[in-house]
Structure 1
Amino acid sequence: MTAPLWKGALLSGLSIALGLAGGYWYAQQRMDGMPRASVEPGPTPAEREALYWYDPMYPQQKFDKPGRSPFMDMELVPRYADEGSDTDTATISIDSGLSQNLGLRLAPVTRGRLDSSLEVTGVLAFNERDVAVVQARSAGFVERVYARAPGDVLPADAALADLLIPEWAAAQEEFLALKRTGDEVLLAAARQRLRLAGMPQALIRRVERSGKPQAVLTLTSPIGGVLQELDVRTGMTVAAGDTLARINGLGSVWLTLAVPEAEAGATAPGQAVEARLPALPAEVLTGSVDTILPEVDRESRTLRVRVELPNPDGRLRPGMTAHVRLSGATQESALWVPSEAIIRTGRRALVMLAENGGRYRPVEVRLGAENAGRTVIRQGLEEGQQVVASGQFLLDSEASLKGIGTAAAEALVKQAPVELHEAEGQVMAINNAGVSLAHGPFKTLGMPGMTMTFPLADPALMVGVKVGDRVRVAVRQSDAGLVIERLEKLGGQP
């Protein structure tokens, strides 16, 4: 670079520097001449202490540093030492964004009409009251069997077989001889002897009209229906009283229901029934409880209930299954929540109550009847409150980390009255551990029927009870599981 160019560049740089310095000085002087606002720096947020990090979808696992969860591939969430309070350790707070990620859905606590009903399964069966049996009235021989087979649907008076009955021929000859004499008294006596020999009235009239013996009897179906049995073959010999055929009518069918043993007290003859068949999805069949059978199935612990349904067109076929609704009493003013909002821990029932500010608190509730996805709340909630209906199990796990189930939860349990749950069963064994029962479902616990051993609150409960006895028990929940508080021996045996 030449000397003149170098000197020019140096002069330009000095001019720019002097201009910047002068501008800064002028601005400083302007600010010194103006009144200044008294601005104090805001407080610096205290450093929050993180106790650990966790995955909201798997809160029981704790991590000692932030990062991504190995379970759900999401950012771990910190648990801070200043969250919560000593008086409400079970309450948790979740921001709106995380609530959406967890899929939380709220439902109101509602008061209103609740229909009490029971939904069970059923199977169509033949009406065993609509049965006709065909028997041989006298000894004879099978001359012909018509083209019939078990399973065929027959009309009334359908021919089944021809029987040759030799002894009828002699009695008919005597009857025709008396008829030729014209003695009405003797003729009436002879006609009576034919009836006592087993001849149908139609056959006697045919002999009287034709004037010829009729030793061959055609057996026919007395009613229309399904041919269940046909025990005749051409040439075979039959004796008086032998059953040759059995026909089951189809004018009506039985719908047999399997009602849980715990619901036996809520089922009564005349109770309205609605049935839907997969084979007839567009139709609702209505009827009423006809008979409640006296015996409980030992394996399924269910009561058999029978409903008779008309079948004029023959579309209802035995063996078809049905989904059945048994209508019960209606509660006009019941407090209820969606059944999916209930958390059953085995010791108590909880719901996650939604409060202001994204706070959620587990509340113990006492349950009533359940129907159509709704559960009655007898104690613990008020109308208008909001409960978590989806995602509540994640919140319950989180609340457990913060203290639910410890001293606070135990205090709730002690304050609430002891709730007993009843079922019937059979004594299978008695030992030092307690009593082994094959019991039906504990409906208020949502517990199905099974065989298990229960400890006794008082060994004196087993006085007079032996293996094989039918009993009704009332159990309570404890830290050790279900304990029998009451035991009553039932009169009937299975």
Structure 2
Amino acid sequence: MNKIFKEIMPQSRNTLIIWIGLVVVAFLFGWIINGGEAEVSHNHNHAEGDAGKTTIWTCSMHPNIQQPKSGKCPICGMDLIPVSSSGSESRGARELTLSEYARKLAEVEVAEVKRKAVTKQIRLLGKVEYDETRLSYITARFPGRIDKLHINFTGTAVKKGDRLIELYSPEILSTQRELIESYKTVNRYEGNSATEIFKNSKNQLSSIRERLRLWGLTEKQISAIEKSSHPSEHISLYSTLSGVVIEKNAQEGMYVNTGTRIYSIADLSTVWVKMDAYESDLAWIKEGQNVEFTTEAYPGQSFIGQVSFIDPILNEKTRTVKVRVGVENKNGKLKPGMFVHAIIKSQVGEFHKKTPLIIPASAPLITGTRAVVYVEVGGKEGTYEGKEIELGPRTGDYYIVKSGLTEGERVVVKGSFKIDSAIQIQAKPSMMNPEGGGISSAHHHHGETHKQEEEQNHEKINVSAEIPLAFRQQLDNVYSYYFDVQYSLSHDQFEPAIKQIAKMQHALKKVDMALLDGEIHMKWMEFLNTMNSAAKQLAKAEDMENVRVAFDPLSEAIIKTAKIFRSDKQNLLVFHCPMAFNDRGANWLQNKTGVENPYFGSMMFSCGEQTGDLTPTEVKNNK
């Protein structure tokens, strides 16, 4: 999934550092563009009164904005930066030449494109479970009454041969008598083995012994019965394996039939770890691979297992596949139910005919599906040329290059964003503007597109009756928690956003869709599915960028909901930010006027504009 700031800036940089760096770089553009000789004015009066050169004020994100005085960008609200009108020495359409001093200011560093075997790390989450091949059930093999349980609770460790239960059974009593009589008859006629009585008794004795063996009695128990003069009222059953009792299904005094399960025993000397792997990771996972994982119970200690099975069925809801890992557990540290964090290291060379071509992860500027690198031009000191390339997967600190570069070229690994910004201000093709030239007003362009989309996508539903009041009141709770999420994102509050989305999910479950019928019921089902899916993604996001990515489809669904179902007491104001998602734009709802941008937060808090008002007239009149 594309990330908001990774679409706008280099994927490998920390967002905050990049934006701080952008502000610093903005004030150095005068030096960079002029080879380090141009001076940037330190105050407005000096900038405007410099007789030697003309200074214009522009926005680093919107270079089409050019003003003779300092101020705020009318699009994003960022401070305008001073830039000298004299350009840098440049050659091609995507080339920029910097002096040695300018290169030092921009902190430009380069690295060679090379072929290297790299390791792809796949991080997975999973849970320890029983080894299903080492589960055993202790069942009643004959009807009777349990008079004694020697294992009274689950979790008890047992060894093979330990006594588990004592049963009273009329069938066993009768069979014991038959065994004793047959044994006596065989002994009585043992000296006369040719007689028919001896042969019949011998066959009968073998048959009875086999019947008792199948009922679970040991050879030692059967021999003891033969030699006794009276049958035993109770028969003991013993464990057939070592392990831990994980289920106890019977109580003392309980009557059981043949097949009744009494205990479940698991051998925990070997356990399974089941993990969820996404579709994109499956190409790197093979049976037999080593897996290293850790648990919360033993910080700093790693466990090793091997991939033993990959589920052939994909879970359509989570879009994941179960991967099973077999792990030795002789010391019993791993307990079923424990959560694990696992890493599978896959050698990239195993999946390619030759060693892959790689570049450092800091080299490409990634926006959407495009990746731009700046290459040092041979024979032209300090000259850098922009190239669009096709990237493969990221492997640690490197990206695999599919096309666009050749081995031996030198790419910029530090300072590329500054070079791109300088090229952008010169209206040349850059990461943000691949076509080069002037850029139309973002507010105007996206505003028109937004209006067209509104007209095309406006839902028209014939509602035969008003939405029930009870339904609208339940929906108001959903709106309230949504507004709390929006507020948290606009103020860069990660933890509160996660807490509020959990409350919103709970509120969605409380909305009684049975209050609706017909077409309006089906429409609510559609919106509900979208909101649940987006809220689920938002709830499990691990950083602010992913939260904001998931907030976009959630907002679209809540806006569509508001258009049809409205509110019983809430203000429903639609806002639009033209810069979100690499200038694709994104919408959201607020319950108050004044832009509070949830997609950029404090970086561009006021970027955007109100584009609609879905507040019902009766709500407005009551305020």
Normalising by structure 1, what TM-score?
A: 0.64
Q: Pairwise CA RMSD of aligned residues?
A: 4.4
**Structure 1 residues without counterparts, runs of 5 or longer:** 1-45, 412-431, 439-446, 453-478, 482-494
Q: Which moved more, 1:321-330 or 1:138-147?
A: 321-330
Correspondence list, 1:17-96, <5 A: 50=54, 52-54=56-58, 60=63, 62=65, 64-65=67-68, 76-83=81-88, 88-92=92-96
**What count of residue pairs does the alignment treat as equivalent?**
378
For 1:227-254, what per-residue CA distance to the aligned partner results, in whole angstroms no more than 9, with x for missing partners? 2210111111111111111111111111
CA distance in 1, matches of 2:391, 2:62: 28
Q: Counterparts of 1:353 and 1:258 in 2: how far apart (Å)?
A: 40
1:113 aligns with 2:120: no
**Aligned: 1:126 with 2:130:** yes
Distance in 1 separating the partners of 2:109 and 2:296: 34
Contact residue 273 and residue 327 of structure 1 kept, 8 A: no
Q: How does 1:170-209 map to 2 (within 5 A)?
A: 170-181=174-185, 182=187, 183=189, 185=199, 186-196=201-211, 198-202=215-219, 203-209=221-227
Task: Please give the alpha-carbon distance, in whole angstroms, between the structure 2 residues aligned to 1:146 and 1:313.
Answer: 25
Question: Is contact 1:69-1:76 (8 Å) kept?
Answer: no
Q: Decide which structure has greater helix share.
A: 2
Match of 1:322 in 2: 341
After TM superposition, the structure 1 = structure 2 runs for residues 317-396 of structure 1, keeping only pairs within 5 Å, are 317-318=335-336, 319-330=338-349, 333-353=355-375, 360-390=384-414, 392-393=416-417, 395-396=419-420
Is residue 135 of structure 1 aligned with residue 135 of structure 2?
A: no
The one-letter code sitting in structure 1 at the alignment partner of 2:342 is H
Judge which range, 314-323 or 137-146, deviates more. Answer: 314-323
Match of 1:236, as an amino acid? M
Question: What's the secondary structure of 1:400's corresponding residue?
Answer: helix
Corresponding residue for residue 145 of structure 1 = 149
- 1:99, distance to aligned residue in structure 2 (A): 6.5
SS of the equivalent of 2:286 reads: coil
- Say if 2:264 is the partner of 1:246: yes
AA aligned opposite 2:390: R
Aligned-partner Cα distance in 2 for 1:66–1:96: 30
Q: How far apart in 2 are the matches of 1:269 and 1:406?
A: 41
How much does 1:111 deviate?
1.6
The one-letter code sitting in structure 2 at the alignment partner of 1:64 is: Q
In the alignment, is the contact (CA less than 8 A) between 1:84 and 1:91 conserved in 2?
no
Q: Contact (CA 8 Å) 2:387, 2:404: kept in 1 or not?
A: yes
Deviations along 1:346-399, one digit per CA (max 9) or x if unpaired, are 141112335666555432112124312211123223445443445544544443
Contact 2:420 2:430 in 1 (8 A): no
Query: Is the 8 Å Cα contact of residues 175 and 191 (structure 1) preserved in structure 2?
Result: no
Contact 1:142 1:162 in 2 (8 A): yes
Q: Higher strand share goes to which structure? A: 1
Q: Could you tell me which residue of structure 1 aligns to residue 499 of structure 2?
A: none
- AA aligned to 1:168 is I
Which consecutive residues of structure 2, in runs of 5 or more, have no partner in the other structure? 1-49, 190-197, 437-456, 458-529, 534-545, 554-582, 586-623
In structure 1, what residue type is equivalent to 2:321?
A: L
In 1, distance between residues paired with 2:435 and 2:319? 34
Task: Normalising by structure 2, report the TM-score.
Answer: 0.52
* Alignment CA distance shift 1:407-1:108 (3 Å): closer
Could you tell me which residue of structure 1 aligns to residue 318 of structure 2? Answer: 300
Distance (whole Å) between structure 1 residues aligned to residue 279 and residue 340 of structure 2:
20
Alignment of 1:284-299 (within 5 A): 284-299=302-317
CA contact (8 A) 2:173 2:231 kept: yes
Contact 1:122 1:255 in 2 (8 A): no
Give the % identical residues: 21
Asked whether 1:313 is paired with 2:318, we answer: no
Distance in 1 between the 2:142 and 2:431 partners?
84
Cα 1:238–1:334 change in 2 (3 A) is same
Counterpart for residue 156 of structure 1: 160
